[in-house]
Amino acid sequence: MDILTENQYTCPGGETVAKSVHLGRLLRFYPACRTCPHREETGTLSARQVEQLAAMDRRAAPLFHDRGIGGVYLNELGADVAHHVAASFGILLRENTSRKEEPTVTVATDGRPLTSELIAAVSEGLRWAGCNVVDLGHATAAAVLFTANHLQTTAATYVGNIPGKFTAAEHTASLDFFTSATELGATAGLPSSDDCPRLVGPLNPNQLTRLEQIYTAGPNRPTRTFGESRRHPTDAYLDVLRRHYHGLRPLRFVVDSACGPLIAYLEKLTEPIACQVLARRTTREKLPQTTVDAEAQFGVRIDGNGYACEVLDQLGRYVAAEQLLLLIARHLRRDNPDASIVLETNCPPALLRAIGDPTVPTDPHPSAISTTIAHHRAILGGGPTTPIHHTLHGPPLPDALSTVTLLLEILSRTDRPFSDVLAHDAAIG
């Protein structure tokens, strides 16, 4: 912040403010103050307030990733940061939307105590920016995306674990942001079209850069009117999957996941049938023996948000990601032989030959996967570096629960052990 006169300052980003505003922003931990060279000009603030500011300076900045922002709870990502980045997202939505009505954002949390505090701050930040909020409570990331599409909301926000983390992350959190296909199409190299189905997917790189710019400069409130907030259940998400849980044989499977809502969903879906969900918290190294000891038909590790999974056969051997993708692709093509499969451009040639045409190549960024599936009406998408994207719910979702659901369906069509199914139905090369 450069001093223009004795009582005027220029905030990072170019806004001119009075000294009283400067002190007020310091007091409420305004994000731009973190990089302001005059943040030590505390004027009449009390000694206690100055110490709080010093403590804030000692904290590391939260880290932006390919879906949003994350970091260590309180040290890097506390309620104040969650509020400001959510407000920045709300401003981004207002910049991009062409609708006359206010943007509406579907939000949910993974159910951990620390994310419960953060989701309250996120909702407040979105409403401060004039966005309406639909709160799902505890849910998986896929349930949030499905509900956002189902309700035709402008965007979605999920407060959970750092994406891709399989181990328990008790002291870290992430805010993942999603918006509509209209903006996603341009970055994916695909023209926007009225033929493209409604889609709420990850922010593209340009949007993430803009979000970080708004956050760093400090969001300017676009309206003096707070948005509204309401609750909504996730029943419709589970209703779509329930049709796959009829006629399953009594399979036992071990599930290792820090995602509490996902375990709850599996228990609800299998309650009327003979399948057994054996929830176990363990390590990647110990899960193979846990699976064998439980005499399970397979085991699965699922990340903390319900995006991705790793699968083991009944012998405790991890299944290669490409082999799992091939198994599911062949299963889905039995009913849709001419359906497209979207694959990352870095997929091995042997996988391309095994899956066969038609396939559509795309960049490995999550926004590109989602948009390409939507534009080409593909039934599946994925590759070595991204989770399997399913279309069981309509819009493409990176959803480990859908992967487990289809695996149960595949293994219920035969009495062969999983390892034999893989050897005969998913051989690559």
Q: What is the DSSP string of 344-409?
A: ETTS-HHHHHHH-SSEEEE-SSHHHHHHHHHHHT-SEEE-SSSPPEE-TTSS-EE-HHHHHHHHHH
Confirm whether pTM is higher than 0.85.
Answer: no
pLDDT at 32: 56
CB of 386 closer than 8 Å to CB of 282: no
pLDDT at 307: 92
pLDDT at 399: 96
Both structure tokens of 257: 């996941």
**Does residue 371 have a pLDDT over 90?**
no
**Does residue 31 have a pLDDT over 60?**
no
Ordered by where they begin, the domains of the chain are: 2-58 (no CATH), 63-233 (3.40.120.10), 237-425 (3.40.120.10)
More confident residue, 261 or 184: 261
**Does residue 125 have a pLDDT over 60?**
yes
pLDDT at 367: 78
Nearest to 53 by CA among 38, 65, 69: 38
pLDDT at 196: 46
Rounded distance, CA 173 to CA 357, Å? 40
Rounded distance, CA 429 to CA 268, Å? 39
Strand order in the sheet with 2-5: 2-5, 8-10, 16-18
Rounded distance, CA 418 to CA 364, Å? 29
Distances (CA, A) of 176 to 144, 215, 388, 393: 11, 15, 18, 20
Residues counted in the chain: 429
As a whole-number percent, the residues of the chain with pLDDT over 90 amount to 61
Mean pLDDT computed over 195-213 = 77
Please report where in the chains the tokens 């940061």 appear, as a residue.
81
> With the C-alpha atoms ordered 188, 202, 98, 215, is the resulting torsion angle positive or negative?
negative
Rounded distance, CA 66 to CA 366, Å? 8
Q: Is the peptide bond before 31 cis (omega within 30 degrees of 0)?
A: no
Q: How confident is the model at residue 237 (pLDDT cuts 50, 70, 90)?
A: very high
**Does residue 423 have a pLDDT over 80?**
yes
Amino acid in the structure at residue 352: L
pLDDT at 117: 92
Rounded distance, CA 403 to CA 386, Å? 13
Q: What is the DSSP letter of 73?
A: B
Both structure tokens of 28: 């409420």
3-class DSSP state of 61: coil
Number of other residues whose CB lies within 10 A of the CB of residue 225 = 10
Residues whose CB falls within 8 Å of the CB of residue 266, separated by 6 or more in sequence, listed in order: 255, 277, 401, 404
Q: Please state whether 13 falls in left (phi above 0), alpha (psi between -120 and 50) or beta.
A: left
Both structure tokens of 71: 């970091």
Express each pLDDT in 60-106 by its tens digit.
455 888 788 998 888 889 999 999 999 999 999 988 776 567 899 99
* Lowest model confidence (mean pLDDT) among 92-101, 182-191, 267-276, 362-371: 182-191
**Does residue 366 have a pLDDT over 80?**
no
Distances (CA, A) of 205 to 68, 71, 178, 184, 365: 10, 19, 12, 9, 9
3-class DSSP state of 123: helix
Mean pLDDT computed over 184-206 = 55
Phi and psi of 9, rounded to 5°? -135, 155
Rg (CA), the chain: 23
**Does residue 190 have a pLDDT over 50?**
no
Mean pLDDT computed over 382-386 = 90
